Chain A
Amino acid sequence: MAQVTSPPKPAEVVSPAPARRYSSDAAGLGRLRAGAFVAPALALIAVFLVFPALWVIYLGLTNYRLTGAAAAEPQFVGLDNFVKAVTDPEFWDSTWLTFQFVLGSAVIGQVVLGFTLAWMLKDRRGTLKSVVEGLVILAWILPSAVVSFLWVALLDRDAGTLNALLGIPGFAWLLDHPMLSIIIFNTWRGTAFSMMLYGAALGNVPPSHLESARLAGASGWQQLRDVVFPHIRGHILTNLLLISLWTFNDFSPFLLTAGGPDGKSEVLAVHVYKVALQNGDLGYGAAISTVILLINLVVAVFYLRLLRSKK
């Protein structure tokens, strides 16, 4: 998750000096040395990032298993795994749960909460703002294994703090409402990113426009709709695409419910793990991974086109 912030830049950004007599290769590196500089990084990326992505497509076309005869001599089975997936109700259940997870926790939860926080804290300075922002960011930066257990403790049926506060001892959140639990958990976990993004976006809305809208008697909602949204439309789209992508690939529901009970919170990320590494059906798991990869590709291409069109 941390990989979402682009790095802070030094305060003074000096524009590159115009190329004069020298080429832009100011140190005189030359193509050969430049190639040698790039090669080690590219080699690692090729072996541990690109190759696995291609290999998963191949594996998805075989009956490769973790153990047994098919482990020694996997056979090419064509599109069998994909046919199996589309006819398997478990796959569709898992896809439907993933859709609920992304829609509930990212598109609705994080966006609404993140925007609300950014809007409320927009013109504030001082302690209240730093305390609220600090806590929201804390939920985002703590290790996922720690926050997952914090929620296990919070939601515990008999001794959990939530049931004590609400006065409903014995209410089994994780057993009876696993999807609701992981959706609220992930909303809590990921809101910081949206809050910061909208915070930055709202800073770009010219205060004079808001002021004239206010003078013209626009209500809070009208100001939002007519002044703010047109200015931050691009940010909203960016935000939606990125957090959907991350939530779609998020493995932390596994840490909270392990997909259970009875697969009732088994989103695709957890489903792949169970099928491939717990049941040992690597071929079928790889086929589902291929589907995930394709969905990621569609979202990412869409996002990159958006970035390019803005430049």
Chain B
Amino acid sequence: MTRTWAGRIGFYTLIAVLLAFFTIPLLWLAAAPFTSDPTYEVRMPDFTFENFQTIIEHPYALGSLVNSLILAIGTALLVVVLSALAAYALSRVRIPGRDALLYALLLLSSIITGTAAMVPLFQLAIELGLIDSHTGLILILTGGLLPAAIFMIKDFMDATPKSYEESARVFGASPLQIVRHVVTPVVRPGLATIAVWTIANVWGNFLMPFLLLSDVEKQPAAVIMYTLYTEGGQANLRVLSTFGLLYSVPVVLMYLFVSKKYGFRFHGGIKR
């Protein structure tokens, strides 16, 4: 009896400590945006919405969120379309050297990180005139995300029965019609997953836009956030807290959406 009691007290104490460790850093983000004159210390907010007014008046805040959106959506479109096409072909047609290609792609995408490739990517962007270009950044981000995306979507394709395609073919549909009208609807959950995954990645990415976009008007929220707290003078905590919250909310919504719809757990690749 005493042992279970001691065990319970130990359990709840440890949980409380861990909960505090993970919660305390986040409190500021929840409280400061609604406090009239926020400091670094977490205080009970007085539930004002004036700080959101300062965001609307800020010259770059809202624009940077739009930039983040452009980069995220642009990259997601490109990644979804290109990875789906490639994965479908790789799943259905035995292209010579397919397995070696997939193995090489998986290897490359895991070792060529932003840190390892920042010097050549920066130089490549200069040579190709892609500095300060959203298109250039989208292409670079797409190149980095595609291998993993092809891998994930190919799993969906492999798991899709071929009988639909076979029957469509029997009825005389052309291969392109089959891909558009038969395959795409069937793998739609997979495509949605890749889209959400890409958007989340690009939305949070700091290093690449920081390296490749020097024009403040074009920088996404990640870079503006960093500029707000590192540029000289006293940091404007009203702007910072509120902007940080606005920038974070879409990520949280996406997480809730994904975990509600699919469950946010581990499957396949990782678990093997």
Q: Which residues of A does B touch, CB under 8 Å?
A: 1-10, 13-17, 19, 22, 24-31, 33-35, 37-38, 40-42, 44-45, 47-53, 55-56, 59, 64, 113, 116-117, 120, 128, 131-132, 135-139, 141-154, 156, 158-162, 164-165, 188, 191, 196-197, 199-201, 235, 238, 245, 249-252, 255, 258, 268-269, 272-273, 276-277, 282, 285-286, 289, 292-293, 296-297, 300-301, 303-304, 307, 310-311
Contact = CB atoms under 8 A, between A and B. Distances in A.
B146 A45 contact: yes
Contacts of A1: 204
Interface string B224-266: 0110011000000000100010011001100100100011111
Nearest to B227: A145
Contacts of B119: 56, 59, 272, 276-277, 282, 285-286, 289
Given A49-B144, A146-B29, A300-B110, A141 B251 contact: yes
Given A6-B267, A310-B272, A251 B115 contact: yes
Interface hub of A3, A59, A307, A311 (most chain B Cβ within 10 A): A3
Contacts of A304: 103, 106-107
Q: What are the 4 tightest A-B residue pairs by CB atom distance, in nearest-first order?
A: A48-B143, A8-B262, A26-B165, A26-B162
Bin the interface of chain B by size.
35 or more
Given A44-B146, A158-B40, A293-B112, 17 more contacts: A3-B145, A9-B156, A25-B93, A25-B94, A27-B92, A35-B89, A48-B143, A49-B117, A49-B147, A116-B18, A120-B11, A135-B19, A137-B255, A143-B248, A276-B122, A285-B119, A300-B110
Nearest to B114: A251
A149 B225 contact: yes
Chain A interface, >50% SS class: helix
A141 B120 contact: no
A59 to B, nearest CB: 6
A117 B19 CA distance: 10
Nearest to B182: A27
A134 to B, nearest CB: 9
A162 to B, nearest CB: 7
A251 B178 CA distance: 44
Nearest to B169: A28
Majority secondary structure of chain B interface residues (helix, strand, loop or mixed): helix
A9 B155 contact: yes
A277 B118 contact: yes
Nearest to A200: B266
Contacts of B269: 6
B111 interface: yes
A3 B148 contact: yes
A153 B114 contact: no
A27 B169 contact: yes
B121 A37 contact: no
B112 A53 contact: yes
Interface string B203-215: 1101100010000
A147 B252 CA distance: 13
